Amino acid sequence: MSIIQQIRERAAWLVFGLIALSLIGFLLMDAFVGRSRLFGNKSTVIGKINGENIEYAQFESLVQSQEDRYKSQGYQISEAITQNIREGVWKQMVEDALLSGIYKSLGLEVTQREIDDMLVGPNALPQVKQAFTDPQTGVFDPQAAAQRINQMRQIVKSGRKTDKFYEQAKEFFEQYVPQIVNMRLKEKYMALLTNSAYVPKWMLEKNNADNSLIVPASYVMVPYFSIADSTVKVTEDEINQYVGEHKDQYKQTESRSVAYVSFSAAPSASDSAAERQQLNELKKEFAVAKDPQTFLDRVGTETPYSKAYEPKSKILDPSKDSLLTLPKGGLFGPYLNGGEYVVAKMIDQKTLPDSVRARHILVATTDPRTRQPIMEDSVAKKKIDSIKTLIDRGDRFDSVASKLSDDRGSAVKGGDLGYFGQGAMVPEFNDFCFDGKKGDKKIVKTQFGYHYIEIVDQKNFEPAYNIAYLSKKIETSSETDQAASGQAINFAGQSRDQAAFDRNVQKDKLQKLVAPDIQPTAATIPGLGDSRAFVKWLYGASLGDVSEPLPVGDKYVVAIVTEINKEGTMTASKARTIVEPVLRVRKKGELIIKRLGTPASLDAAVAAGGQPIRSVDSLQFASPSIPNLGPEPKVIGYAFDKELAGKPASAPVAGNQGVFVLKVGTISAKANPGADIEQQRIAQEQQSRSMLPYQIVEELRKLASIKDNRSNFF
């Protein structure tokens, strides 16, 4: 019930709670929450950026804050999500550290007046304005904001840690305020960069003139594939030399590679049969159970029971056709749905709309964030009764809602919640809206308080069903698990080096797979899934080491370390797959050029190369491709060399697909009367400005000394 959950109450300490909680959520990276999972207050270096330490406690508090935020939104925190959070936090901390030095060198600062303006001034941050806007007038109250902030300041100064708001107030001044200062500093710095972007008019005029050039051409192309790969050898020394000449292109991060075999510990046929039998035994009891909720809570189910009715069109169960023919109280199953066995019971069926539009007026009794009471139930009931009386006497519903509803998100729309589907609202609210009729009005009590609801519209009526599902996940039995574990232990014990590993793979007819370039902070293994424990073993092992069986998902894995790559420039063996094709093409090009010599004409090139003459009406300087052939930027550029005009044949030039000999005509220009130079200039300038913030951070990152020790901690 997302709209109702946005209810705001202006009671003093509730607003105080909002400023401590809602504002922190505004940050790009959550504010430090001052707690650590490791070593208490002991400072441990998790990384260094240009010699500046990053402490574990500092890093982990940010990660924990992000995880808490995910959990508050209903997400399950998996190993992969945690790793993604860690990556994001690390990237942001690196960026902040790199930029902080720039701010100092440029003399950028944020004054107290600017901070006050962000918190209590005319340009206050949106979250501050939302928390301190008068619900009756819709006007931001800066004095109320200043009063609450001063109260928090006094709480911190008092040092009374027993005060229930002490930690929130401390977070506000020690964590949130510095973060909004950092945010403003970044805005100033990026403004300096983006405002410096300028594209001169003459440059665009020159580019347009160049891009309008066209030239007719004929050519002979001797393809590289005309020389067999087997005849061209590339040595390790040649690869090393090439990599040394192009070090920037062949940098590598630290990584390791493994080969592995796996032994399945997934549920066996007997495990599946046992689960099915268990459901068959529960089925009889399920059939006579009067209360499906109580029964399912007692025996357990993977699919929690909901009293909501699901429209026929939205039921996605694979046995849908069988389920919808069941009478009330009828059962179907056990049937297989994914990795679960299911018994379904038809509880009830109705014809209902698939969506409802309603409006409401709320008198809140509970703070939706803290679940703490904010108004006596009896007082709230009298107030909602009075609101109903006002409307019954002729006051407009929307006018009353805008003035008196505690759901400020819908109050500004006259209480209108728009259209919503089954299950979008809390049960009591949902049931009235879907079971009632268009035009019905009623006072309904929910966990949030008292609502006066009017059903504005209902549409798309169709059959809807309330079905209870008794579902059990098919679990691996201890016998199946022990069998897989035993096989893995036996293999690992007999395969302690590469030769034995490969020999036993062949003997046992196992499939050997490879997981290349696993980085030290990785949480996922290609082909296997999430396993941080696997990565930690890998980075504690040496080349050629064989693991003991490692549980990964529903498998036991035995792995051997096949490659260890240090950070720096690639070795010849690592770069071979990338560099060898490049050098082979280069050598083929040299052989073809030698064969062609210096042809006096295209006919001579045909005789030497054995390939026909092809013609193109016009090559375009603006396009890197030759029609019907593909990208050849080097050849296109060569074709527009004015020295070639009038010559019967060019010297051979090596392109992407082969060696070319060209004969070009007179270079001319293709008019473009619709070109708007000023619009092009503005567009390029805007593009430059949008890219500058990213580009400057990336350049700073390349120039920085960054030491990442995270793999030692997780």
The closest of 605, 586, 588, 691 to 647, measured between CA atoms, is 605
Over 60: is that where the pLDDT of 100 sits? Answer: yes
CA distances from 133 to 127, 136, 287, 413, 662 (A): 10, 9, 55, 16, 74
Angle between helices 397-404 and 377-392 (to 10 degrees): 150
List, in order, residues 6 or more apart from 172 with CB less than 8 Å away: 19, 20, 23, 149, 152
Over 90: is that where the pLDDT of 606 sits? Answer: yes
Where in the sequence of the chain do the CATH 3.10.50.40 domains occur?
267-475
**Is pLDDT larger for residue 38 or for residue 391?**
391
**Portion of the chain with pLDDT greater than 90, in percent:** 55
Q: What is the CATH number of domain 267-475?
A: 3.10.50.40
Residue 568 near residue 243 (C-beta atoms within 8 A): no
CA distances from 430 to 309, 358, 438, 478 (A): 10, 10, 14, 45
Mean pLDDT for the stretch of residues 486-490: 96
Residue 156's pLDDT is: 84
Tokens of residue 30, six digits: 């959550």
pLDDT band per the 50, 70, 90 thresholds, residue 10 = very low
The closest of 118, 271, 231 to 185, measured between CA atoms, is 118
Q: What's the farthest any 2 CA atoms get from each other in the chain?
A: 104
Residue 535 near residue 518 (C-beta atoms within 8 A): yes
- Break the chain down into helix, strand, coil percent, rounded to 5: 45, 20, 30
Q: For the chain, first and last CA: distance in Å?
A: 37
The amino acid sitting at 598 is T
State pLDDT tens for residues 298-353: 999 999 998 888 889 889 899 999 999 999 999 999 999 988 999 999 999 999 99
The torsion angles phi and psi of 329, rounded to 5 degrees, stand at 90, -5
State pLDDT tens for residues 559-600: 999 999 998 899 888 899 999 999 999 999 999 999 999 999
Q: How far apart are CA 596 and CA 699, in angstroms?
A: 45
Q: How far apart are CA 299 and CA 701, in angstroms?
A: 56
Q: How far apart are CA 35 and CA 20, in angstroms?
A: 16
- Its pTM surpasses 0.95: no
Over 70: is that where the pLDDT of 158 sits? Answer: yes
Over 50: is that where the pLDDT of 439 sits? Answer: yes
Task: Give me the DSSP letters along 503-534.
Answer: HHHHHTTPPPEEEEEE-TT--EETTTEE-HHH
Q: How many CB atoms lie within 10 A of CB 392?
A: 9
Residue 265's Cβ-count burial label (10 Å; 0-12, 13-18, 19+) is: buried
Q: How far apart are CA 409 and CA 4, in angstroms?
A: 8
Residue 358's pLDDT is: 95
Length of the chain: 714
DSSP lists the bridge partners of residue 444 as 451
Mean pLDDT for the stretch of residues 477-488: 95
Tokens of residue 588, six digits: 């083929």
Q: How far apart are CA 468 and CA 286, in angstroms?
A: 10
List, in order, residues 6 or more apart from 210 with CB less than 8 Å away: 621, 622
Mean pLDDT for the stretch of residues 56-74: 78
- Please state which of the ranges 118-127, 128-137, 411-420, 643-652 shows the lowest mean pLDDT: 128-137
Tokens of residue 212, six digits: 């309008």
Tokens of residue 96, six digits: 């902040």
Quote the distance between the C-alpha of residue 154 and its chain's center. 41
Over 90: is that where the pLDDT of 706 sits? Answer: no
The amino acid sitting at 222 is V
CA distances from 657 to 93, 586, 589, 612, 712 (A): 45, 11, 10, 15, 47
CA distances from 428 to 1, 60, 192, 416, 445 (A): 11, 41, 55, 18, 7
Residue 134's pLDDT is: 63
The torsion angles phi and psi of 579, rounded to 5 degrees, stand at -85, -35
Residue 220 near residue 613 (C-beta atoms within 8 A): yes
Q: What SS3 class is residue 463?
A: strand
Q: What SS3 class is residue 456?
A: strand
Over 50: is that where the pLDDT of 20 sits? Answer: no
Residue 412 near residue 138 (C-beta atoms within 8 A): yes
pLDDT band per the 50, 70, 90 thresholds, residue 64 = confident
Q: What is the CATH number of domain 255-266+477-566?
A: 3.10.50
Over 50: is that where the pLDDT of 43 sits? Answer: no
Q: How much is the CA Rg of the chain, to the nearest whole Å?
A: 35
List, in order, residues 6 or more apart from 633 with CB less than 8 Å away: 624
Residue 580's pLDDT is: 95
Angle between helices 572-596 and 236-245 (to 10 degrees): 100
List, in order, residues 6 or more apart from 53 with CB less than 8 Å away: 45, 47
Over 90: is that where the pLDDT of 704 sits? Answer: no
Over 60: is that where the pLDDT of 396 sits? Answer: yes
pLDDT band per the 50, 70, 90 thresholds, residue 262 = very high
